[in-house]
Amino acid sequence: MTLLIAILVFGLIAALFGALLGYASIRFKVDADPIVEQIDAILPQTQCGQCGYPGCKPYAQAVADGEAINKCAPGGEDTIKKIADLMGVEAEPLDESHEKDNRPKVAFIIEEDCIGCTKCIQACPVDAILGAAKQMHTIIADECTGCDLCVAPCPVDCIEMRVVPETTQNWLWDLNSIPVQQID
Amino acid sequence: MESIINRINQQKFWSFHGGVHPPEQKTLTNQKPIKPLSLPEQLIIPLQQHIGRQGDLLVQVGDHVLKGQPLTKSTNPMAVPVHAPTSGTITAIKHSVIAHPSGLSELCIFLNVDHQDTWVERTPCNDVATLTNQEIVKKIADAGISGMGGAGFPTHIKVDTKPDINFLIINAAECEPYITADDLLMCEHSESIVDGIKILNKLLNPAFILIGIEDNKPKAIEALKKATAGIEKIHVCVVPTEYPAGGEKQLIQILTGKEIKSGTLPIKEGIIMQNVATCYAISEAILHDTPLIQRVVTVTGQALEKPQNVWALLGTPVHYLLSQCGFDNQGMEKTPVIMGGPMMGFSLPTDTVPVIKTTNCILAPSYKEMPSAFEGNSAEVECIRCGQCADVCPTNLLPQELQWSAKAKDYPQLNKLNLSDCIDCGACAYVCPSHIPLVQYYRIAKAEIRQQQQQELKAEKAKARFEARKQRLEKEKRARELKHKKAAEARKAAMNKATPEATEAKSAVAAALARVKAKKAANQKSPSSSAISAPVETTENQDNKKAQVAAAIARAKAKKQAKPAPEIDAKENAKVEPSNTDSKKAKIAAAVAKAKAKKSQEKAPIQGQEQNQEQTDSLSLADKKANAIAKAKAKALAKKQASSNNDSSTASDLTIASTAESEPAIDEKDAKKAAVIAKAKAKALAKKNKESNTDNKVSEKNTVNVEPRKVQNTSETSTINDTNNISDKDAKKAAIIAKAKAKALAKKKLATQSVSEEKTMHEQEKGAK
Amino acid sequence: MAFWIASSPHNHNQQSTSSLMRLVIFAAIPGIIAQWYFFGWGNLIHIGIAMITAMLCEFIVLSLREKRITEQLFDGSALLTAMLIGICLPAFAPWWITVIGTIFAIAIAKHLYGGLGHNPFNPAMTGYVMLLISFPLQMTTWQPPISLMEIELSFSNTLTTIFTGFTIDGYSVEQLRTSIDGVTMATPLDTLKTSITMGLTVSETTQSSVFGEHFAVGWEWVNLAFLLGGIFLISKKAIAWQTPVSFLLSLFLCSLIGYTIVPDSSASTMFHWFSGATMLGAFFILTDPVTGATSAKGRLIVGLLAGLLVYLIRVFGGYPDGVAFAVLLCNMSAPLIDQYTRPRTYGHSKDLS
């Protein structure tokens, strides 16, 4: 009899708490950003495809599905660290297949070489190339994300990636980089 | 507001949090009058001397300009012009180190002084009342006046405001140690300054005008009081000496007790602040039509024999100022020369830096008086959280916590700790017993935060553009599919009719199938071709396009061949001193020649192979041939270029620069010729292709064929790089040999190719028949 | 010649961490002299042992950590820690107590946490508390004031006692601690605690000779000397005034409340001020910038908290004095206090629209 009572009591308690938890999970549901959106927000949005996916969003989707987090070359270590924090995994060094130099760059069309083939225009993920068939093209430098996707398609190799020059506006106060000049 | 004025009348002021009392050292210079400097030989005038944008150049190298003549014009509200500080000839407009902590170079005008000092025509104005406010603002803008206290904000923007102004505060505090430029200006030109204040009064019509001046300038206070006597509105406020009482927000707090909300401008509280030197410049500009071309600079420090204030023309190089004041480096290996005061100034990397509108001081301290300026950041030890920095911070920040977050690059935390409210005054670092360069950490963090924000903005924009593009592409795709479906239906209907047209259509399908096969074969040959999948459109346009593309590619290639030599020359020249150009050229010539020779050797067997394959694949024979021919021609042309390149570079070896210029010219001509030929040939081909019922595939193939060539181009450049290392002699020898070889090869190639070309042409004709 | 590139500000008030530490050490000298005068050589010998141990230990740890030895070894922080430990220890404690305590303070309490500036707990007090808990017997071998001692105590006698446990003449520590009237002497605080638990009233207890005419023989003067040093430090702006002032005030208030409620079993306010390690704690230990609060408000709170804790431990705790424990507890809460006492930045007033 005591046994029965005990089982009954515990069963009731379990049912009660179960119901409570179930209700709470519905009632207090947190509408968090889907993980894909959060990852996408971290990615640098260069849409460069160096990760092997056709843009930042697809890569974010892939990371959410278990893809390696170290494939974003333009984002570099910072982005990897942030994704690692978000996903609760260990940060890994950048995929070795990418070049280490991730200084910001913009594409530049050597205009006298351009034949107006429009191939780069088709390749540009952010529509930052201006031009028409048989007309010389040019890059809208402010819109260029430096993804270098336009470099490969160019049949005459007239596009090159140029490092964004250091100006007084984007100087990062690195006093050690100032060349000391000998004076008489 | 009345209570504020009452307090001021009783000479009672508020105080700000913190502050320090570094040794003032103003006695070094404040007893001597301002010395007018003799004209230097050369002035270096940076186009941008203020915050904002630079104006557009009005002058060219070689122009003779008169004193006061504008050198740039402003096309943007944030741009102010610069003027010629004296008459002379412009010898260069080039990048030069500017007065900025970064030591970076920006565009500067180099003016050779002719010592005539001839003015442009001026129209002095005797009565300000005759001018409208608009005219005054325009005059201020045209005179190139920007804030002369430090930041250099364009003055005409600051004075062109509509809302009610309660206080116009004239900043005469000059709280930085050592600097006495404003002090002396007030002593000697108080009348002009008051004239300037009156003009500002007319423009802004403030309720009160407060002149904030520290009590360590008794003579200047006396002079100002005398000059402003009888003007009800103006109050000379003598405030206790404490650094940084001259900070905009600090002075406002001292005089009015008001705090300016973080992230807003004082104008929101009805307060405008102008520096005394700016007032002087305004009166000069309006009354005497004298643009801002000179300013008082305190040249001080115990490393100078005769420290004193000077009237320096804008653009005067620092070395001229130092030599005029007897600079002695005391045998030190490295000595700091600081532009600005000891607290907020920046050290100069070189002595060619010019004086600009915001330069108020050149400080050359001796080791004895300022050992910390000589030790750099080497004395930094761990923070012991003593909190002295927090005690002296004028904005009541927590410098030690900021420092930890800055070192950890914890930007959200830095924002939480209000890093953006830091005014870089340096009081915290001044008192830090651990000698931590706190301000430097903050500046780095601030710059990085700013960059990060910009990147985020850019990423946002890029994302939007990417999404928009994706939508557009999808729309296009749908439209195309629809069109194809319609076309397919039409064809089906036609086939079902079983007319002669239908059979024709069928044969077209057969041809298409064959083409697909051919493409597959091609894919096996060059894997890269699979990457390209051009839209299939069966219009005649395509054929034309194909021909054009072929021509274009040939042209481009030809041009490229012409390019390398001069291009590399230019690159090398940038790096190497001019005396080396000779040997460099030889090296490059050698490298180019070698690369060419190598290429031609490699090409020969490949071509043979290709032709063999062509014969086996009879269906796509025409396509293939078109390709091969286009390619062969391009190559032949390239070779021609190579040899001509070599020839001309030999010439340049002998006659150096002059020939180097003609080099590209020759090449260009050749390239043009080549292009014409290629075009013609391509056109012929196009016609033929049409006849043999081929279509756009050819154009695809053409691009395919470009791929391997590109690879070769890159290898070519790498060879060039390698050969660059060879010693001069070797290079020359190699160049001669290589040139000879290349020439011979090119000749041979040309001959064989023309033969093979003719042959294939015949064959094609036969096939077409 | 070349120009030297550095960041602003270019001048400096030429203060340094080491000079700050030195100043604190100098300010403690009056207190040490008073200690010597009333209690003999014991603490001076301990200070010496502690300083030598601290320098050796600091050197070893710094070289293990591959730090800049020349600068950090002589920054004075290790010496200051050693000095504080030496002052705090009972005069007859054996030498190895000092050595162990100092090594613990330097190697574990300071360097294991990242060295100067990173240690969350005051190293000297951590070492002291470790000793107090681990070696309760040795840590209560207090020496009575010289004036109350039966046996004449010379420097050499003290030295041999510390190193061997016996004087040259063969007296043991126990014998040394026995007063003229044949009772083993303890510190005034200790005496007070034991007698109150035994049911005696305060006025009865203070009849004991250790309390002397005022509050406690010797201790009152030692505390006065430390107070003097502390005022000197405040005048030199080497320490912030908030912590000691609020600490003393808080202790005063607590004891005043206790005294008014139960005068029979509560010591006077001044007794709390001038016995034990009150002044040393107020001016030399609680003011340690590394482990204290950084904002002015925070320092006030830390002082208040410390005063309350010291009083509670002295009256209700198991130990006679509570400064060391109070300091550690305050160290623990300092970051939290800092977190909630951040000053309002200029331009961030809620009144500003």
Q: What is the pLDDT of residues B257-270, one digit of tens each?
A: 989 999 898 988 89
**Residues B638, C333: Cα–Cα separation, whole Å:** 79
Q: What pLDDT score was predicted for residue B571? A: 44
A172: closest CA of chain C, how far (Å): 13
Spell out the residues 6+ positions from residue B392 whose beta carbon is closer than 8 angstroms to its own: B18, B19, B20, B427, B428, B430, B431
Contact predicate B397/B417, CB 8 Å? yes
**Among B39, B28, B613, residue whose Cα is nearest residue B320:** B39
Per-residue pLDDT band at B6 (split at 50, 70, 90): confident
Q: Long-range contacts of range C254-257, CB-CB < 8 Å, 24 or more positions apart?
A: C254/C307, C254/C308, C254/C311, C254/C312, C255/C311
- Section B66-80 average pLDDT: 90
Report the residue of chain C nearest A179, measured CA to CA.
C5
- Section B456-484 average pLDDT: 92
Q: Are B439 and C72 inside 8 Å of each other by CB?
A: no
Contact predicate C195/C204, CB 8 Å? yes
Q: What pLDDT score was predicted for residue C107? A: 95
Return the number of CB contacts < 8 Å for A and C. Answer: 17
Q: What pLDDT score was predicted for residue B768? A: 47
Q: What pLDDT score was predicted for residue B612? A: 46
The per-residue DSSP string of A39-78 comes to HHHHS------TTSSSSHHHHHHHHHTT--S---TTTHHH
Residues of C in contact with B417 (CB under 8 A): 342
Q: Is A127 near chain B, with CB under 8 Å?
A: yes
Q: What pLDDT score was predicted for residue B587? A: 52
Contact predicate B343/B306, CB 8 Å? no
Q: What pLDDT score was predicted for residue B752? A: 55
* In-domain check, residue A173: no
Report the residue of chain B nearest C352, measured CA to CA.
B261
Q: Are A55 and B552 inside 8 Å of each other by CB?
A: no
Report the residue of chain A nearest B532, measured CA to CA.
A153
- Number of domains comprising chain A: 2
A41: closest CA of chain B, how far (Å): 9
Helix (H) or strand (E) holding B361: strand B361-363
What is the SS3 assignment for C313? helix
Residues of A in contact with B469 (CB under 8 A): 125-127
- Section B592-612 average pLDDT: 50
Least confident window among B30-34, B91-95, B181-185, B697-701: B697-701
Q: What pLDDT score was predicted for residue B313? A: 95
Say if residue C9 is preceded by a cis peptide, omega within 30 of 0.
yes
- Section A104-121 average pLDDT: 89
Q: Chain C interface residues facing chain A, Cβ-Cβ under 8 Å?
A: 1-7
Q: Which residues of C62-89 are buried (b: 16+ CB within 10 A; e: fewer)?
A: beeeebeeebbbebbbbbbbbbbbbbbb
* In-domain check, residue C352: no
Higher-confidence residue: B53 or B580? B53
Structure tokens at B320: 């001229």
Q: What pLDDT score was predicted for residue C215? A: 72
Domain boundary among C166, C181, C196: C181
Least confident window among B527-536, C26-35, C86-95, C113-122: B527-536
Report the residue of chain A nearest B559, measured CA to CA.
A113
**Among B292, B304, B420, B287, residue whose Cα is nearest residue B362:** B304
Single-letter amino acid, residue B15: S
Structure tokens at B561: 């061949």
Q: Is C292 near chain B, with CB under 8 Å?
A: yes
Q: pLDDT tens across B362-413, in order?
A: 999 998 888 888 876 678 888 998 889 999 999 999 999 999 999 998 999 9
Domain boundary among C181, C206, C240: C181
Q: Are C345 and B332 inside 8 Å of each other by CB?
A: no
- Section B332-340 average pLDDT: 88
Q: Are C5 and A175 inside 8 Å of each other by CB?
A: yes
* In-domain check, residue C9: no
Per-residue pLDDT band at B126 (split at 50, 70, 90): confident
Q: Residue B449, Cβ neighbours under 10 Å: how many?
A: 18
Q: pLDDT tens across B11-25, in order?
A: 889 999 999 999 999
Q: pLDDT tens across C51-81, in order?
A: 999 999 999 999 999 888 888 888 899 999 9
How many CA atoms within 13 Å lie on the side-chain side of B11? 8
Q: pLDDT tens across C99-121, in order?
A: 999 999 999 999 999 988 899 99
* In-domain check, residue A94: no
B195: closest CA of chain C, how far (Å): 33
**Mean pLDDT of chain B, nearest integer:** 77
Q: Is A184 near chain C, with CB under 8 Å?
A: yes
Question: Is B2-26+126-289 a domain of CATH 1.10.10.10?
Answer: no
pTM, 2 dp: 0.74
Give the whole-number percent of chain A exceeding pLDDT 90.
21
**Facing residue for C2 by CB, picked from A173, A175, A183:** A183
Same domain, C148 and C213: no
Q: pLDDT tens across C275-327, in order?
A: 888 999 999 999 999 999 988 899 999 999 999 999 999 988 888 888 999 99
B531: closest CA of chain A, how far (Å): 10
Same domain, C199 and C115: no
Domain boundary among C120, C151, C181: C181
Higher-confidence residue: B549 or B86? B86
Q: Are C1 and A180 inside 8 Å of each other by CB?
A: no
**Residues B427, B411: Cα–Cα separation, whole Å:** 22
Q: Domain range holding C31?
A: 19-181
* In-domain check, residue A52: yes
Q: Is A1 near chain C, with CB under 8 Å?
A: no
Residues of C in contact with A173 (CB under 8 A): 7
Spell out the residues 6+ positions from residue C204 whose beta carbon is closer than 8 angstroms to its own: C195
Per-residue pLDDT band at A82 (split at 50, 70, 90): confident
Q: Residue A134, Cβ neighbours under 10 Å: how many?
A: 12
Q: What pLDDT score was predicted for residue B572? A: 45
* In-domain check, residue C226: yes
* In-domain check, residue A174: no
CA atoms B531, B534, B536, B538: torsion sign? negative
- Number of domains comprising chain C: 2
**Facing residue for C2 by CB, picked from A173, A175, A180:** A180
Radius of gyration, alpha carbons of chain B: 37
Residue C216 has pLDDT above 60, yes or no: yes
Q: What pLDDT score was predicted for residue B650? A: 40
Question: DSSP secondary-structure letter at C145?
Answer: P
Q: What pLDDT score was predicted for residue B512? A: 73
* Portion 94-113 of B in contact with A at CB < 8 A: 98, 100-104, 106
Q: What pLDDT score was predicted for residue C225? A: 95
Q: Is A145 near chain B, with CB under 8 Å?
A: yes
Same domain, C173 and C101: yes
Report the residue of chain A nearest B350, measured CA to CA.
A181
* In-domain check, residue C345: no
Q: What pLDDT score was predicted for residue B548? A: 57
Q: What pLDDT score was predicted for residue C138? A: 87
Per-residue pLDDT band at A167 (split at 50, 70, 90): confident
Per-residue pLDDT band at B54 (split at 50, 70, 90): confident
Structure tokens at B342: 């000891």
Same domain, C31 and C151: yes
Residue B250 has pLDDT above 50, yes or no: yes
* In-domain check, residue C280: yes
We report the CATH number of the domain holding residue A123 as: 3.30.70.20
Q: Are C1 and A182 inside 8 Å of each other by CB?
A: yes
Residue A13's Cα: distance from chain center in Å? 49
* Angular region, B534: left φ>0, alpha ψ -120 to 50, beta rest: beta
Least confident window among B622-626, C203-207, C302-306: B622-626
Q: What pLDDT score was predicted for residue A184? A: 66
**Facing residue for B462 by CB, picked from A45, A113, A167:** A45
**Mean pLDDT of chain A, nearest integer:** 86
Q: What pLDDT score was predicted for residue C266? A: 82
Report the residue of chain C nearest B430, measured CA to CA.
C12
**Facing residue for A126 by CB, picked from B101, B447, B462:** B462
* In-domain check, residue A40: yes
Q: Which chains touch A (3 or more CB pairs under 8 A)?
A: B, C
Q: pLDDT tens across C126-184, in order?
A: 999 999 999 998 888 888 887 777 777 788 888 888 888 888 877 887 777 776 666 66
Same domain, C170 and C52: yes
Same domain, C130 and C204: no
Say if residue B394 is preceded by a cis peptide, omega within 30 of 0.
no
CATH number belonging to domain B28-113: 2.40.50.100
Q: pLDDT tens across C244-287, in order?
A: 999 999 999 999 999 899 887 788 888 889 888 899 999 999 99
- Section B161-171 average pLDDT: 86
Q: Is A178 near chain C, with CB under 8 Å?
A: yes
A148: closest CA of chain C, how far (Å): 37
Q: Is A177 near chain C, with CB under 8 Å?
A: no
Chain A interface, mutation test: which of B463, B532, B548, most A Cβ atoms within 10 Å?
B463
* In-domain check, residue A25: no
Q: What pLDDT score was predicted for residue C241? A: 93
Q: Are A175 and C3 inside 8 Å of each other by CB?
A: no
Residues of B in contact with A43 (CB under 8 A): 459
Same domain, C224 and C247: yes
Report the residue of chain A nearest C5, measured CA to CA.
A175
Per-residue pLDDT band at B201 (split at 50, 70, 90): very high
Residue B191 has pLDDT above 90, yes or no: yes
Q: What pLDDT score was predicted for residue B713? A: 44
Q: What pLDDT score was predicted for residue A40? A: 87
Q: Domain range holding A137?
A: 105-163
Q: Are B433 and C343 inside 8 Å of each other by CB?
A: no
Contact predicate A178/A78, CB 8 Å? no
Give the whole-number percent of chain C exceeding pLDDT 70.
96
Q: Are A168 and B468 inside 8 Å of each other by CB?
A: no
Same domain, C191 and C102: no
Same domain, C39 and C162: yes
Q: What pLDDT score was predicted for residue B554? A: 58
Q: Is B349 near chain A, with CB under 8 Å?
A: yes
Give the whole-number percent of chain B exceeding pLDDT 90.
46
Write down how long chain A is: 184
ipTM: 0.89
Q: Are B455 and A128 inside 8 Å of each other by CB?
A: no
**Facing residue for C5 by CB, picked from A180, A183, A184:** A180
**Among B413, B314, B303, residue whose Cα is nearest residue B354:** B314
Residue A134 has pLDDT above 50, yes or no: yes
Per-residue pLDDT band at B611 (split at 50, 70, 90): very low
* Portion 81-120 of A in contact with B at CB < 8 A: 112-113, 115-117
Per-residue pLDDT band at B566 (split at 50, 70, 90): very low
CA distances from A125 to A120, A131, A146, B477, B616 (A): 10, 15, 11, 16, 41
Residue B674 has pLDDT above 70, yes or no: no
Q: Are B349 and A180 inside 8 Å of each other by CB?
A: yes
**Residues C186, C140: Cα–Cα separation, whole Å:** 8
- Section B125-143 average pLDDT: 90
**Residues B542, B463: Cα–Cα separation, whole Å:** 34
Same domain, A71 and A113: no
Residues of A in contact with C6 (CB under 8 A): 175
* In-domain check, residue C346: no
Q: Which fold has domain B378-496?
A: Fumarate Reductase Iron-sulfur Protein; Chain B, domain 2 (1.10.1060)
Q: Is B738 exposed, middle or buried (0-12, 13-18, 19+ CB in 10 A)?
A: buried
Q: pLDDT tens across B503-538, in order?
A: 665 666 677 777 777 777 666 655 444 444 444 444
Q: Residue C352, Cβ neighbours under 10 Å: how many?
A: 14
C9: closest CA of chain A, how far (Å): 14
Residue C353 has pLDDT above 90, yes or no: no
* In-domain check, residue A147: yes
Least confident window among B223-227, B284-288, C199-203, C306-310: C199-203
Q: Are B559 and A113 inside 8 Å of each other by CB?
A: yes
Radius of gyration, alpha carbons of chain C: 22
Higher-confidence residue: B424 or B705? B424
Per-residue pLDDT band at B655 (split at 50, 70, 90): very low
Higher-confidence residue: A84 or B612? A84
**Facing residue for A175 by CB, picked from C1, C2, C7:** C7
Same domain, C173 and C254: no
Q: Which chains touch C (3 or more CB pairs under 8 A)?
A: A, B
CA distances from A82 to A172, B454, C74, C108 (A): 22, 18, 41, 34
Q: Are C295 and B23 inside 8 Å of each other by CB?
A: no
Q: What pLDDT score was predicted for residue C50? A: 96
Q: What pLDDT score was predicted for residue B393? A: 94
Same domain, C78 and C40: yes
CA dihedral C34→C38→C42→C45, nearest 10 degrees, is 30
We report the CATH number of the domain holding residue A63 as: 1.10.15.40
